[in-house]
Every structure is written in C-alpha cells, then in structure tokens.
Amino acid sequence: MKFFASVATIATLAAAAPKARFTTSLDVKLELQENSRVKATVTNPGQESLKVLKTGSILDASPVQKVSVSNIDGAATFQGIKVYIGPHADESAFQEIPAGKSVEVTFDIAEIFDLSTGGKYNIYSSGNIRYAEGGDIDKLRSVSFESNKLHANVDGTLAAAALSSFHQNMKRATINSDCTGSRRQALETARQNTYNIAVKAAEAARSGPAKKMTEYFESASQNTRSIVAGTFSKMAQLYSSQSGKPDIYCRDIGNYCSGGVVAYTLPPQNNIVYCSAWFSYPALNSACRQVDQAHISVHESTHLSLTKGTDDYGTYGYENSIALPASQNINHADTYAYFAHDTLSGC
C-alpha cells in the first residue's frame, strides 16, 4: 500500500486552499506473526533517500498507536500513549530510508490494546508520518498513508498477559515526585488557561460563525457543532472540578520524553505528562495560530478518554491539520487545539 507526501500550503492562503496533494510515496506492508505480534515493512520506492521522523509513527519504539484494531464489537481500546511532537526533534529521532530500501519494525499490539476477550480482530494502519525535506530536519513535510489489512485470531489469555506486563513496567518506571516551584506555577497557569479556552471554544462551536467551523471541521452542521462543543464542554468541566482528573505530571513517568516529544497522554488512565521541553514554551500567546503551553494543554486534553479520545494521525500544525479530511478533523487533536486558540485570539 502507499504513503503519499503532502506539500504544505502557505499559511495566509491555507483556509481557502484545496486539500493538500501528495507526490512522494512509501510502500508499507503489515505481516502477522505469532498471536498478536505484527511486522511492518516500510519501503522507499523512490529515486532519492528519505529521512522520516520515527517519533509518534509506526517506526517508533515507544507504545504509540501504530495500528487500528477492531472486532465485531467495534474498535479495541487503546492503552498506550499519545505524544505531542515539537518542531525541532534532533537527528536521533529520524530514520534514513535509502532509495529502493526497506526498514522493518516488529511490535505486539496486545501490549497497547485490550484484546483480552480474544477471537478475530482486524488490523490496519493509516494516518501520516513526517519526513525531512531534502534531509533538512528543520523542514518537515507530511506523508499520508494507508496499509494493507490483516485478520488475526488472537489468544485472549496471552493478550491479557502481554497488556498486564506492559502496565507493570509502566508502574515500575513511575517516579512519584510532586511538581514544585516555577514548574508547579506553570502547570497551575496552564490549567486555568485551558479552562478559559475550553469555555470560549465550546461557545464558539455551539453558536459561533459557520466560517470558522467550516475552516477547521469542514462543516457547520448541528451534528458537527454538537460534537465539537461537547468535547470542549467536557474539558471545561474537568478543569473546573475537584474530580482529581486529569492527573498531571512534570516528571517523565514513562521515559518517553525524547525524540522531540514535548508532552504525552495516557488516555485510558487520563494522565498527562509534560516534558521539560514544554516549560520552554510561553504560557499564552494571543497572536493567531501560535503554539504555547495552553495550546499543547488543550491538544493533550482532547486525547483524554474523559473528553474525546482524539487521535494525532501523525499530523501537527495548522496547514497540515486543515488539509485532513473531515472524517479525521472531527477526531484530530491539533484541529481542536488550533480552533480553540483561534477563538481565544479572535482570529
């Protein structure tokens, strides 16, 4: 199957521009191994070497969502992490795929999905991966992809053991250190800003200009407005209550703050971890379409199972976000974050 690379539209024209077109490609093949283990082979059929960003993609060694898994009852519950990737990952976060060559990765889907019921499951991968244009890691472009589909008959007992083992390791990696000083203050400020932004975004989604809804979600229908407003209303409720959720950490409890990761979320547990890089962002920038601590907080908060449980689709940034199809925009974290920031800034 194919990956297709998008060309980013100019920011000032992006809202009115057609969907991004894709020209560069990668071939991706999934193969089933024993029980719930999957091998992914990524081949570069082009004439030039391609440097792809591993972080958050199917090539990432961390427990990110590399595939989608479903059975007759619907989608399996994802139990891994969702990451926010900054614009300046270092060289170690990239994988060079020479022209005509392949790279392989193997992972156990039972470690990050609850497959304990066992039986027949469908497995496939789709979304986006980023690559360094011309090998320049400061010039990232997006690659959209869709793999072949697999059908697996999973042993539920073995799958449950794999999931349990993964979470045991997560517990052993946890450092229960309270945030103090300036970091605690930064998190308190982000909590308040996230609440304020969520309230304004919910109102804008319910009754704001149709043009803004269409810009981000390609629709201003009552159903779309209801979904978006509901997501932000749940977020506002979380940050205004004393429920104790989400659990927010300023320590890397899972050892995933590398490869350009600024923050990550464990959706089922409703935990958000802010890496050291997050604290280098400004608390709030009122200019249009800026990434600040509040933007990242809103982004991560949409991943929570208590709000929407959004995906990233390997896509970050305004231009790439609005280039997604409507079916993905409605469940895309950065789309929500940019929409919310626009409502705050009056863009």
The answer to whether 218 is a known catalytic residue is no
Annotated binding-site residue? 138: no
DSSP 166-231: HHHHHHHH-------HHHHHHHHHHHHHHHHHHHHHHHHHHHS-HHHHHHHHS---HHHHHHHHHH
Instruction: Give residue 168's pLDDT.
Output: 67
Active-site pick, 111, 215, 300, 319:
300
Instruction: Give residue 23's pLDDT.
Output: 43
Q: Contact, 301 vs 272, CB < 8 A?
A: yes
Q: What's this model's pTM, rounded to 2 decimal places?
A: 0.84
Tokens of 3: 């990956």
Backbone angles phi, psi at 302, to 5 degrees: -70, -20
In whole angstroms, what is the distance from residue 231 CA to residue 127 CA? 22
Instruction: Give residue 244's pLDDT.
Output: 65
Q: Is 332 exposed, middle or buried (0-12, 13-18, 19+ CB in 10 A)?
A: buried
N-to-C CA span, the chain = 39
Annotated binding-site residue? 299: yes
Q: Contact, 110 vs 158, CB < 8 A?
A: yes
Q: What is the pLDDT along the chain (347 residues), one digit of tens a residue?
A: 444 443 333 233 333 333 443 346 788 999 999 899 999 999 888 888 889 999 999 999 999 999 999 999 999 989 999 999 988 788 999 999 998 999 999 999 999 999 999 999 999 998 778 899 888 888 888 777 889 999 999 999 999 998 888 776 554 433 335 688 899 899 999 999 999 999 999 999 999 999 999 999 999 999 999 999 999 999 999 988 666 678 899 889 889 999 999 999 999 888 999 999 999 999 999 899 999 999 999 999 999 999 999 999 888 999 999 999 999 999 999 999 999 999 988 88
Annotated binding-site residue? 312: yes
Q: Is 50 exposed, middle or buried (0-12, 13-18, 19+ CB in 10 A)?
A: buried
Please state the length of the chain.
347
Structure-token match 């810009």, residue found: 215
Instruction: Give residue 277's pLDDT.
Output: 95
